[in-house]
A and B are shown apart, each in its own frame.
Chain A
Amino acid sequence: MKSVVCIKRVPDTETRIRIAGDGTSIETAGVKYVISPYDEFAIEAALRLKEARGEGEVAVVTVGDAAAGEQLRSALAMGADRAVLLKGETTMDGLATARALAAELGAAEADLILFGMKAVDDDQQQVGAMTAELLGLPCVTGVAKFEVQEGGVVCQREIEGGVEEVRAPLPAVVTVTKGEYEPRYPSLKGIMAAKRKPLEEKEAQLGASRIRVRALRYPPERPEGRIVGEGAEAVSELVRLLREEAKAL
């Protein structure tokens, strides 16, 4: 059982985003970078699968600049066996990223290709399904839990107001959401071992981005709010304001 997990280096969710001088990108100085949280769920899922079966390989792949090697090392420290860095600059155009990944994964002969459901920077939520389409593989997105059985993967996919069960034959692409796979912390032994695990670097075949960012702006300022009062006595006034002023009730 060979799994490949595609991950992305993103600013930590604690980050206070500052827009850079060019007006179309963010200030990166002082920003702490991490593996996108959903990608960590995907890594965890792949590691558990390998452990449960007692055999197999977990590879991690990313498209990014040289610094993204740091996130690959973190994934190796969690327990992945090998890593591939496709060097290139990702943009908001997920199709360019998907193309680079498909070029790499086409030759990888993986049984299961996992993605986080979305990267928490651009929030485009598209690279997994695009990569699957380019590779001609079946794909299930937004999966909270899955099981590999009899040549297929049975997925619990989150939809509005419910959970849908979808089965895909292997090889398949699955994008993972939060739920079952709380990621492990790397152990000291894992961190030491990661230094000796293979990390291959290649040029990413990205092609041109066809999404042009004209401007990046801060969210509109909210008008100054007010404290209506303290405790249950304030409720009547709150309801009046919601009804008459905000017209929200």
Chain B
Amino acid sequence: MGANVLIVAEQRDGALRRTSREVMTAARGIADALGVEAHALLIGAPGVAGQAAELGRFGADRVKVIEADALGRYHPEGYTDALARALEGEGYAAVFFTASAQGKDLAPRIAARLDVPLATDATGLAVEDGAVVVTRPVYAGKAFAQVVLEATPCLVSLRPNVFPAEENPRAGTVETLEAPASEGAWRLEVRGVAKTAGEKLDVAEAPVVVSGGRGLRGPENWTLLEELCDAIGPRCALGASRAVVDAGWRPHAEQVGQTGKTVAPQLYIAVGISGAIQHLAGMRTAGTIVAINKDPDAPIFKVADYGIVGDAFEVVPRLAAEIRKLRES
């Protein structure tokens, strides 16, 4: 039997993040194709081992757990040390991360430490002749590269929302590892998190995105989009075009496109966004795209599945009301 595969699971406040189910499912698929086991690494405060069962439910044969008070929240050096410990003594074929703020910070550190290459933000994984083949967007999604990493372990971070999470129960046997003892050597001091209003889902991870552009005429009109987002429910996050971020109407964290986030939600609703090439690149892999724009010639309609030509100020409130009605019925 060949080398196993590992995922680095993510938790926030002790609860497994939704995206880790997706990564677990994808790793299960790769493990099956290679005929090996899928393992998960769970790092967190004492008690985090309670999340192992859920990783088992999504396909983990074994869950390695590292618990320490200092590891409750993501600490770049602490987690790199913890992951290095989990990799000691077991030569994995591949290690999968979420392409999140944590995964994109942690993966390159461990790659440099192990002296192996890293593929970021994969949207496709396959096994060919025993090798993992990664598909990943380049130029913010204007093209896709199919790549092979010529070293082991093969390190890959996976884009949220692209790989479906499916239950596929395995043993999820818990194996507790000793926490790294190097806390005194960590140089970074993680002081705390200021949460943004309402603690909404991040635009890169939300299954539904409602995005606004200059057609909304001013930041005060975002209440319109907030109402639509509320009507859709907690799965929905707000996005924005570059124009409105540059104008200071919305924070950069919401920007979709080449100098913002590349998103792949199941549903993307673009309101008052004309569709600059950088924006289209950032959202064109969404499942279903809806465009609402006054200008029938706006490029956004070329990628939209459904379009409404009209004034956002009339269309959006009606859409919010109808969706609310639908959810309540």
Q: A130-B108, A239-B322 are in contact. Are A227 and B187 (CB under 8 A)?
A: no
Say whether, besides A123-B138, A123-B139, A142 and B259 are in contact (CB < 8 Å): no
A21 to chain B, nearest CB (A): 15
Chain B residues, Cβ within 8 Å of A220 = 285
Contact yes or no, A144 B252, CB < 8 A = yes
Contact with A along B255-291 (1 / 0, CB 8 A): 1001110100011000000000110000011011110
Other-chain residue from A14, A94, A144 in contact with B108 (beta carbon distance below 8 A): A94
- Whether A130 pairs with B308 at a CB distance below 8 angstroms is no
Q: How far is the CA of A190 from the CA of B133 in the complex (A)?
A: 47
Q: List A residues 105-160 near B (Cβ within 8 Å).
A: 120-134, 138-142, 144, 157-160
Nearest A-chain residue to B110, judged by Cβ: A133
Give Cα A214 to B189, complex, Å. 41
Instruction: Give B222-256 as 1s and 0s: 1 = Cβ < 8 Å from A's Cβ atoms.
Output: 00000000001000000000000100000011010
Do residues B193 and A162 form an inter-chain contact, with CB atoms below 8 A?
A: yes
Map CB proximity to A onto B290-325 as digits: 1 under 8 Å, 0 otherwise: 100000100001111111111100110011001100
Residues of A within 8 A of B144 (CB): 216-219
- Give a binary string over B123-167; 1 marks a CB under 8 Å from any A CB, 0 the rest: 000000000010011111111111111110000000000000000
Number of inter-chain CB pairs below 8 Å: 271
Which of these, B107, B112, B143, contacts A218 with CB under 8 Å?
A: B143
Which among B23-31, B55-63, B195-203 touches the partner chain? B195-203
CA–CA, A62 and B262, complex, Å: 26
Tell me, yes or no, whether A26 is within 8 Å of chain B by CB. yes
Stretch from A49-57, A65-73, A74-82, A164-172 forming part of the interface with B = A164-172
By the criterion of a CB under 8 Å from any partner CB, how many residues of chain B are at the interface?
94
Interface residues on A, range: 35 or more
Assess whether A142 is in contact with B310, with CB atoms less than 8 Å apart: no
Which residues of chain B are near A226, meaning CB under 8 Å?
A: 305-307
Q: Which residues 11-31 of A have a CB within 8 angstroms of B?
A: 11, 13-17, 19, 26
Q: Which residues of A contact B139 (CB under 8 A)?
A: 11, 15, 17, 26, 120-121, 123
Segment of B32-40, B42-50, B96-104 in the binding face? B96-104
A-B contact pairs, 21 of them (CB 8 A): A38-B259, A92-B138, A94-B117, A120-B140, A125-B121, A126-B107, A133-B80, A138-B77, A140-B188, A141-B104, A161-B195, A163-B193, A166-B76, A212-B148, A217-B146, A222-B289, A227-B296, A227-B309, A229-B308, A231-B311, A234-B308
Q: Can you list the 10 inter-chain pairs with the closest CB atoms, starting with the nearest?
A: A133-B112, A160-B202, A126-B108, A129-B108, A231-B310, A159-B101, A17-B142, A138-B187, A130-B112, A165-B191
Chain A residues engaging chain B, CB cutoff 8 angstroms: 11, 13-17, 19, 26, 37-38, 92-95, 98, 120-134, 138-142, 144, 157-169, 177-179, 209-220, 222-223, 225-232, 234-236, 238-239, 241-243, 246, 248-249
